Amino acid sequence: VLQTSLQLARRGVEVEIFTRATSSSDPAVQEAAPGVLVRNIEAGPFEGLDKHDLPTQLCAFAAGVLREEARHAPGYYDLVHS
């Protein structure tokens, strides 16, 4: 994901990566590289989740992404890929 994002950013595309926050100390947004932002979405508990438990957090994660999208004007995101 990061390598693809870096290549897109080098071509002038602004990229935002949405990921699940794994700690309460994770910043809401951080710059991974020029043109690449990482948004840490709070979805489920920070600790005690096995990777096999992650699908149970999809609704909370999707809701977090939609809340972020709602903060922007319609059409702000041209493409969403998962």
Tens of pLDDT, residue by residue over 28-38, are 999 999 999 99
For 2-14, write each residue's pLDDT tens digit: 999 999 999 999 9
- Spatial CA neighbour of 71 closest among 34, 22, 11, 29: 29
Q: Are strands 29-33 and 36-41 parallel, antiparallel or unpaired?
A: antiparallel
CB 43 within 8 A of CB 19: no
pLDDT of residue 48: 82
pLDDT of residue 4: 96
What's the mean pLDDT in 55-82? 92
Q: What are phi and psi of 48, to 5 degrees?
A: 85, 5
pLDDT of residue 42: 95
CA distance 42 to 60: 8
